[in-house]
Structure 1
């Protein structure tokens, strides 16, 4: 029998990623979509051959009894949407970030445990083959002791001109909570999510309120409420240091940089595409190199979630890790706002 799937939030990510994947599975049936605008929901349902749409999630749960729920709402509504799905005994796949507040991420994690339900987040970059290759070589000791990691999630002028990406109340922040969190998760995942000791950060709003158009369309500069760049040092309890650079807008040469670099005492690595290298007598020696990074990350992320729902023991970005990274993001923002280091 097919598992029944409901989609909370009828936006672009829901249609292009979640529904698109679910419809490739013969063991799943998307039975409903929930949103706030009835007209757009009707169109969404018709385009994707979804039989029912609702503006009231409570009504949807009562009538449809889904077993799997995808949460694709704006960040502010992740917590209430995930909690309602868990309370209705559904397994939940939520877009990043887990929430806006770390305390909410903790409650989501603990509720999933108490209910015996699966809770996973769409930190899809960690599902790239490149990440698996680098992680395997780290575990085999090829890099040695990793003591410095550089995380980049940068856009030269990529402020989103749609949705609520410049609204701090709805999004919780700018590039850190939207882009940086992805590469941070990738770095933490290959390091086995180590404990963080202290963070120091500074953020800027230098460009977004002056311009009104970029690579991703137009926005209203008078309503630009989030940081357009943020930089942080993250000190781990094991002594390793992570340097984070993230931006929606920053006057750099490259249009975009999304990567993780790791420096060990035996070798170094770059994630996208996977490359491992060292130095011998002043000459660079390449130990491993992929020509192109794996582009198929979203579908692998959702596939892993579905497979776990079907009983397979596969890797997920789970509720525990979601809580850990939300704590880190919250501490980084607190450090930037207060102008002082924050201990975790």
Structure 2
């Protein structure tokens, strides 16, 4: 059987600890042929570490010299769009790290390129792959929640400003915790709700801590180079009448070190997702139903395996390009609303 020929754009930590190890786990159906990075020494190091035959300093060189079927895009956010579009235009399916891009216009061009070339474009929203999310989804799909009319989403850290990389650089990342960790729980909530159509977004952002410096639980950061929000809070109303409260922060004076969760409120039942507990009424009593025996799974591994299987025609995508575009539109609307002080219609 012909193997799926894969290339990697970007040679950072996410590739070293996630993408390459998981492509190697599937070496019976995948061969990674090339990796690129603007730092050629880094690309060479990764090529040697994982026995990748070719390495380059640009994806233009890679597509000129190596024939590929699929590509992982693992660059900083600013460079997602052009790399993804180049890969799609060169006949490759694409798995792009989240978020899709740094603007909705970029995400729209990426989605259009995927459709024009009839290729797969998906994003690594790997929390969908967890047993917790899949279990709650089965209950929702079976009608046991009734209408899910409200959701509360939290992606919060007490002092979790990343002290490495470009996470505090707005020009390169497009934003702070909202576009970095908030999108994970946002996507999880939308997925469980069935991705309802958004009516409007109203939001505020703050930079009360990041620009001052202080104690960091994820390394120190330079407050003089902190150009993103350190927290964002907002309200989303959907056209079906449902609503969502979204809270996200790199740095917040709160009790817990971190909170990553989705709380669902339905007419028949509600739930928290991490860990999964369902709150409902049965036979005249209020009950809490725990799901204690769910398997521990590697969400990244499942996400990459799902991409491979979709490329090989063995399963449908769990995350579509259109869904990624919706996430990007909400992120854009959050930042626009915070800047203008007005609600933003989608």
Short-chain TM bin: over 0.9
Cα separation, 2, equivalents of 1:233 and 1:294? 32
What residue is the counterpart of 1:67 in the other structure? 69
Identify which of 99, 105, 109 aligns with 2:101: 99
Name the CA shift for 1:293/1:340 in 2 (closer, same or farther; >3 Å). farther
Query: Do residues 329 (structure 1) and 331 (structure 2) align?
Result: yes
What residue is the counterpart of 1:114 in the other structure? 116
- Residue ranges of structure 2 left out of the alignment (5+ in a row): none
TM-score between both structures, scaled by the size of structure 1: 0.96
Name the CA shift for 1:329/1:282 in 2 (closer, same or farther; >3 Å). farther
Contact 1:272 1:293 in 2 (8 A): no
What CA deviation, in whole Å up to 9, does each residue of 1:190-226 have, x standing for no partner?
1111001111101100111112551211211100000
Please list, as runs of the form range in 1=range in 2, the aligned pairs for 1:152-171 lying within 5 A after superposition.
Answer: 152-171=154-173
Measure how far apart 1:145 and its partner are: 1.8
Cα separation, 2, equivalents of 1:213 and 1:293? 36
TM-score between both structures, scaled by the size of structure 2: 0.96
Contact 1:274 1:293 in 2 (8 A): no
Measure how far apart 1:161 and its partner are: 0.9
Cα separation, 2, equivalents of 1:295 and 1:313? 19
Q: Alignment partner of 1:23: what SS?
A: helix
Measure how far apart 1:282 and its partner are: 9.8
Measure how far apart 1:287 and its partner are: 3.0
Identify which of 282, 285, 288 aligns with 1:286: 288
Contact 1:213 1:219 in 2 (8 A): no
Name the CA shift for 1:333/1:294 in 2 (closer, same or farther; >3 Å). farther
Please list, as runs of the form range in 1=range in 2, the aligned pairs for 1:286-325 lying within 5 A after superposition.
Answer: 286-290=288-292, 294-325=296-327
Please list, as runs of the form range in 1=range in 2, the aligned pairs for 1:186-197 lying within 5 A after superposition.
Answer: 186-197=188-199
Cα separation, 1, equivalents of 2:211 and 2:293? 38
Please list, as runs of the form range in 1=range in 2, the aligned pairs for 1:187-266 lying within 5 A after superposition.
Answer: 187-266=189-268
Measure how far apart 1:284 and its partner are: 4.3
Cα separation, 2, equivalents of 1:39 and 1:213? 33
Contact 2:7 2:72 in 1 (8 A): yes
What residue is the counterpart of 2:8 in the other structure? 7
Bigger shift: residues 35-44 or 247-256:
35-44
What CA deviation, in whole Å up to 9, does each residue of 1:136-178 have, x standing for no partner?
1111111122111000001111111111000000000000000
Measure how far apart 1:289 and its partner are: 2.4
Count residues with an aligned counterpart.
344
Cα separation, 2, equivalents of 1:311 and 1:127? 19
Measure how far apart 1:295 and its partner are: 4.4
Measure how far apart 1:310 and its partner are: 0.5
Measure how far apart 1:55 and its partner are: 0.4
Contact 1:151 1:187 in 2 (8 A): yes
Cα separation, 2, equivalents of 1:271 and 1:294? 14
Give the RMSD, CA atoms, in angstroms. 1.6
Measure how far apart 1:50 and its partner are: 1.5
